[in-house]
Amino acid sequence: MKFQDAVTSPVAVKPLRRIQPLEYGDLLVRILNDYGVKYIFGIPGGGIEPLYNAMARSEKKGGLRPVVSRHESGAAFMADGYARESGKLGVCCTTTGPGATNIITGVASAYVDEVPMLVLTGQTRQSHFGRGAAQDSSCDGVDIVAMFKHCTRYNSFVSHPDQLEEKLVKAISIAMGSKPGPSHLSLPLDLLGMPVGIRGDLLPIKPLQFEEVTPNKKVMNQLHKLISNTKKAVLVLGPGAENAASEIIKFAETINWPLITTPMGKGIISANHPLYFGVFGLGGHQSAANLLHDSSVESVIVIGSVLDEPETSSWDMEGLLTDKLIHIDQNEFHFYRSTMAKLHVFGSPRLVFKELLRCGFKGKASLKGKRERHCANVVDLPELFKVNNRNIKKIPPQLLFWELSLKAPENTRVVVDIGNSFLWGIHYWQCRHKAGDFKNLFRMGLGFAPMGWGIGAAVGTAMASPDEPVICFTGDGSLLMNGQEITTAAQEGLNILFVVLNDQCLGTVKHGQALTGAETTSFDLPGVDFAKLAHAYNVSSHSIQSVTELHTIDLDKIFKAPGPYLLEVIIDPEQVPPMSSRLLAINNDRGV
């Protein structure tokens, strides 16, 4: 070959590979990856673009990746559901301005329900503060950090790159600490996109690990003495008892004392356990209330409950909040609501009951034959719902929850939305665990109670446990508010059954107005064909309106099919849910 030919002949040359410098967004993602975070739920935007660039690079390497919600509140609900199911940190993010304000409701819900969450919001470029930048979220604009102050455990603006790692460690540690809840970091756009060079010195993140609190020996001696001198007591499990459920139930079986739960603790015990007397509190069972009001009960041992309005049946002073109370909790903040208790035991419920089991207590009270027909696992449905059903024009929601609970596989995760769904669910859903499993199978955003919470939370639940069946019960009002999150379930291929209770009204509002003698107004909703709406979402769906059709529902077949499924149920709008304790609180009939 001549030299001239070599110069002029076309040669295949590989383009030089551009080395992507490490940005602070990449550094943040690397730290979260090292901590074990798999997903960040949120919606992209210009104000947080460097974080999404970093997540895209992470995903290509098989690491942490984004899950795109349809509304920022839905992202927080997803992070909430993920955290409850996995027991790990839920992470969500938003862009500046309206992205950050939209997510606040979901963050506030996690704050009230004490769910560990890391919230990352984009922030205006620091050089643009106070200059009228678009979506200015700085202290000179719509001050986002100030807005998050009252619904987070930790809340900070990262004003310098050297602060990022330290503040991130602090945020995670506090969110996952002994008083769990959301932490918020406000991240300016210029900082996230700032190059940090090639770093090989990044140490694994080491947030503080809060060990189980060992109870005081003196207090344990007092507890032992009280139990030794008590013939009959009731064990009440709140959501904070989940990790101690095995020990608590074994102790109850040893000493033969009855078990009840609060609404938030409902899913810890299988409904058919012979010592289980149902739910006390909002939507609960008369059997549980009767047990607590029984004069022969000497002690009421409450484990892991915040003792708020729903948990105490609107502060029933003859229920949990009496001088019979023994309150066991790892969060000492909960004791401020139980000042009347005869004993507070600050410590890990698991360690408390592990120690009690070593003491060798023997059975005391005889409970054989004492359970009542309306106890949770033997709810006596009205005869109208049991016979040939020819006179029933629309499906009673009582029957819907009862029948689907018996058809659902064991260990089905149930997420009930705010409104009639959680009232019917608390009373009629029958939780059934696999042998040896004590996970809380029944979830609600009950503390702050935002409508539509369940739809996003179901997505997060399924992301955490994709191989477990998940059912979300929601109402037509909640679906019209946040139903778009079902498309995220479709995009992710999640196996969730969404059951929509369609009564063409805001049911809780309607019944509340009627029961309290208020004006009957503003509760009607338009007739919407939610099965067709789901079809438009490219989600399999079906609509039923008769009891006969309800009997034909095949849950095994639904769960075996890939992707989400929407079941629209035309329910009887005149059936009144069990909401009397809520009305007492609204009308202040407890005198508190």
Q: What per-residue confidence (pLDDT) applies to 16?
A: 38
Q: How far apart are CA 181 and CA 113, in angstroms?
A: 8
Beta strand pairing call for 496-502 and 565-570: parallel
Shared domain check, 470 and 573: yes
Residue 386: pLDDT band with limits 50, 70, 90: low
299: in domain = yes
Residue 373 has pLDDT above 50, yes or no: no
4: in domain = no
Residue 512: pLDDT band with limits 50, 70, 90: confident
Residue 40 has pLDDT above 90, yes or no: yes
Q: Could you report the per-residue pLDDT of 522-537, keeping only the tens digit for each?
A: 888 899 999 999 999 9
Shared domain check, 301 and 254: yes
Q: How far apart are CA 409 and CA 42, in angstroms?
A: 31
The 3-class SS string of 486-504 reads HHHHHHHCCCEEEEEEECC
Q: What per-residue confidence (pLDDT) applies to 587?
A: 65
Q: Which domain holds residue 344?
A: 217-358
Q: What per-residue confidence (pLDDT) applies to 552?
A: 94
Token pair belonging to 75? 């992202």
Q: Are 123 and 144 spatial neighbours (Cβ–Cβ below 8 Å)?
A: yes
The count of other CB atoms within 10 Å of the CB of residue 139 is: 14
Q: Are 76 and 70 spatial neighbours (Cβ–Cβ below 8 Å)?
A: no
Residue 74 has pLDDT above 90, yes or no: yes
Listing DSSP states for 297-357 in one string gives: --EEEEES----TTTTTTT-TTTTSSTTEEEEES-GGGGGG-TT-SEEEES-HHHHHHHHH
203: in domain = no
Question: Is the full-model pTM beyond 0.85?
Answer: yes
Q: For residue 280, what is the domain's CATH number?
A: 3.40.50.1220
Shared domain check, 246 and 164: no
Q: What per-residue confidence (pLDDT) applies to 450?
A: 92
Shared domain check, 65 and 181: yes
Q: What per-residue confidence (pLDDT) applies to 127?
A: 67
Q: What per-residue confidence (pLDDT) applies to 295?
A: 93
11: in domain = no
Residue 545 has pLDDT above 70, yes or no: yes
The count of other CB atoms within 10 Å of the CB of residue 74 is: 30
Q: How far apart are CA 115 and CA 182, in angstroms?
A: 7
Looking at 155, 175, 192, the residue that finishes a domain is 192
Q: What per-residue confidence (pLDDT) applies to 21?
A: 64
Residue 563 has pLDDT above 60, yes or no: yes
Short-list 556, 555, 575, 577, CA closest to 567: 555
Residue 140 has pLDDT above 80, yes or no: no
Element (H, E) at 413: strand 413-416
Residue 252 has pLDDT above 50, yes or no: yes
Shared domain check, 235 and 154: no
Q: Could you report the per-residue pLDDT of 426-467, keeping only the tens digit for each?
A: 999 999 999 888 999 999 999 888 999 999 999 999 999 999
Q: For residue 106, what is the domain's CATH number?
A: 3.40.50.970
Q: Which 8-state DSSP code applies to residue 34?
A: H
Residue 197 has pLDDT above 60, yes or no: yes
Mean pLDDT to the nearest integer, 385-403? 75
Residue 520: pLDDT band with limits 50, 70, 90: confident
Q: How far apart are CA 376 and CA 286, in angstroms?
A: 9
Shared domain check, 176 and 31: yes
197: in domain = no
Shared domain check, 314 and 386: no
Q: What per-residue confidence (pLDDT) applies to 136?
A: 72
Report the number of distinct structural domains present in the chain: 3
Mean pLDDT to the nearest integer, 487-513? 91
> In this predicted structure, which of 260-269, 365-374, 453-462, 571-580 has the lowest mean pLDDT?
365-374
Three-state DSSP state, 194: coil
Q: How far apart are CA 376 and CA 393, in angstroms?
A: 27
More confident residue, 15 or 357: 357
Residue 3 has pLDDT above 90, yes or no: no
Shared domain check, 179 and 31: yes
Q: What per-residue confidence (pLDDT) applies to 11?
A: 39
482: in domain = yes
Shared domain check, 249 and 170: no
Question: What value does the CA radius of gyration of the chain take, rounded to a whole number of Å?
Answer: 26
More confident residue, 236 or 10: 236
Residue 190 has pLDDT above 60, yes or no: yes
Listing DSSP states for 232-248 in one string gives: -EEEEE-GGGGGGHHHH
Q: What per-residue confidence (pLDDT) applies to 506?
A: 79
Mean pLDDT to the nearest integer, 360-379? 54
457: in domain = yes
Short-list 494, 501, 504, 505, CA closest to 537: 494
Token pair belonging to 79? 């992070």
Short-list 32, 38, 190, 20, CA closest to 122: 190
Phi, psi of 58, deg, nearest 5: -65, -45
Residue 507: pLDDT band with limits 50, 70, 90: confident
The count of other CB atoms within 10 Å of the CB of residue 190 is: 16
Q: What per-residue confidence (pLDDT) applies to 202?
A: 57
Looking at 324, 358, 392, the residue that finishes a domain is 358
Secondary structure tally for the chain: helices H, strands E: 23, 18
Short-list 260, 267, 217, CA closest to 446: 267
Q: Could you report the per-residue pLDDT of 580-590, keeping only the tens digit for each?
A: 766 665 566 55
Shared domain check, 181 and 324: no
511: in domain = yes
Shared domain check, 422 and 324: no
Looking at 343, 358, 373, the residue that finishes a domain is 358
CA dist list (Å): 576 to 170, 202, 446, 475, 580: 47, 59, 19, 15, 10
Three-state DSSP state, 565: strand
Shared domain check, 492 and 347: no
Q: What per-residue confidence (pLDDT) applies to 371?
A: 47
In the chain, the percentage of residues whose pLDDT exceeds 70 is 85
Q: What per-residue confidence (pLDDT) applies to 583?
A: 64
Q: By 3-state DSSP, what share of the chain in percent is helix, strand and coil, each rounded to 5?
A: 40, 15, 45
Q: What per-residue confidence (pLDDT) applies to 22?
A: 85
